[in-house]
Amino acid sequence: MMYSRHPLAWFLLTLSLGVLSAAAQLGPYPIATKQARFDGTLGKRDKDMLWITRAGSDGRGGPQIGVPVADIVQIQVPKPTVFSAAERLQAAPRATDAQFKAVHDALDQLIRTLRSFRDLPGIPVNEALLWKGRLYQKKGLWREAVRQYEDILMNTPSSPLATQAQILAGVAYEKMGEHQFAVEYLGDVELPEEDEELLSAMLYSMGNSYAALENHDNALMAYLSLVVFYPYLYDNEARGLAAALDCYAALEEWEPLYRTIQTIQATYPDTAAAKRAGEIASEYQTQLGRAGHFVDGPKVVPDAEQTAVSGTTVDYSKPVGSN
């Protein structure tokens, strides 16, 4: 049988084969209990009892045994093919709707197959739900993404992936403009120090939501955490400093605002951050002119006396006096 050499055709073919393999059987997998280790195929889940068909020494099915769920330490399920496909799709700059549908369908198949075992250690249902959410986020479908994350939080709140689901849900709520929900999800969660991309997204979204709720002190703490602790990741310093500008202005902290504009103009000229710094300098020209008397370094606006001179025009995206 011949198949097209088109990349999408091969992508869908590989994915479908992986899904059929995952759906056709529930093992045998290496299973560790408090009493023993063995290979077995998952069978019926009967409340607190799991029925497992042990693999015989010849690899064939052996006797079926009942194992208390509380005795199961780990079920070693190999990484499903669809997870690799989802990872590639998330990184693809021009993924198609057909590719998204194929991966979502495959994830749904995996979830349906394993859902009754989802609370057992090693069963990758929550990871599949996370991938569904992340792919929805890639397409800007924030509400659909939240549904996946909240499925995890409602059904397995103590699972290893619950913290990640909570953070991703908070980020999605911020993107939807539902800022009170965002700060409730993000404000008391443990920082994911091992995942710098997620950590950066979390702090930036938290700052945005606090700022939208006019809690500018907490917003500054979030933005400046990006600047101080993680400046060289994901443009954190530039976007953190730019976001802090409005907070300083709202709090009427004119000298910190002046210094932040100086830093942006010196470090990130000709960027979106510098453009925003110029807009802030123009909007608060009088206040910054007064603050400039107490701040060393390049001027960002004319002195207070100069601002009163009629007809003065300044390009605030650059330090005053620069060419």
Q: Do residues 294 and 230 share a domain?
A: no
The reply to whether 281 falls in a domain is yes
Assess contact for 165 and 147: CB atoms under 8 A: no
Q: Which of 251, 285, 303 is the last residue of a domain?
A: 251
Q: What is the pLDDT along the chain (323 residues), one digit of tens a residue?
A: 333 445 554 455 455 545 544 434 688 999 999 999 999 999 998 889 999 999 876 666 678 899 999 999 999 999 999 999 999 999 988 888 989 999 999 999 999 999 999 999 999 999 999 999 999 999 999 999 999 999 999 999 988 899 999 999 999 999 999 999 999 999 989 889 889 999 999 999 999 999 999 999 999 999 999 999 999 999 999 999 999 999 999 999 999 999 999 999 999 999 999 999 999 999 999 999 888 777 788 888 776 655 544 444 445 555 554 54
The reply to whether 285 falls in a domain is yes
pLDDT tens figures, 236-278: 999 999 999 999 999 999 999 999 999 999 999 999 999 999 9
Calculate the CA 183 to chain-centre distance. Answer: 15
The reply to whether 266 falls in a domain is yes
Task: Give the pLDDT confidence score for residue 56 in this predicted structure.
Answer: 73
The reply to whether 148 falls in a domain is no
Q: Do residues 246 and 200 share a domain?
A: yes
Domain count across the chain:
2
Q: Do residues 242 and 266 share a domain?
A: no
Q: Do residues 289 and 303 share a domain?
A: yes
Sign of the CA dihedral 63, 66, 67, 69?
positive
Q: Do residues 226 and 274 share a domain?
A: no
Q: Do residues 257 and 323 share a domain?
A: yes
Residue 294's domain spans which residues?
253-323
Task: Give the pLDDT confidence score for residue 57 in this predicted structure.
Answer: 67
Report the distance separating Cα 15 and Cα 99, nearest Å: 10
**In which residue are the tokens 């992340």 written?**
134
Q: Do residues 244 and 265 share a domain?
A: no
- Scored b (16 or more CB within 10 A) or e, 15-31 reads beebbeebeeebbbbbb
The reply to whether 239 falls in a domain is yes
- CA dist 66 → 8, 24, 25, 54, 233 (Å): 44, 22, 18, 10, 50
The reply to whether 180 falls in a domain is no
Report the distance separating Cα 200 and Cα 191, nearest Å: 10
Task: Give the pLDDT confidence score for residue 160 in this predicted structure.
Answer: 86
Q: Which of 208, 236, 251 is the last residue of a domain?
A: 251
Q: Do residues 206 and 267 share a domain?
A: no
Report the distance separating Cα 81 and Cα 214, nearest Å: 45
The reply to whether 223 falls in a domain is yes
The reply to whether 227 falls in a domain is yes
Task: Give the pLDDT confidence score for residue 72 in this predicted structure.
Answer: 96
The whole-model pTM stands at: 0.84
Q: Which of 209, 232, 251 is the last residue of a domain?
A: 251
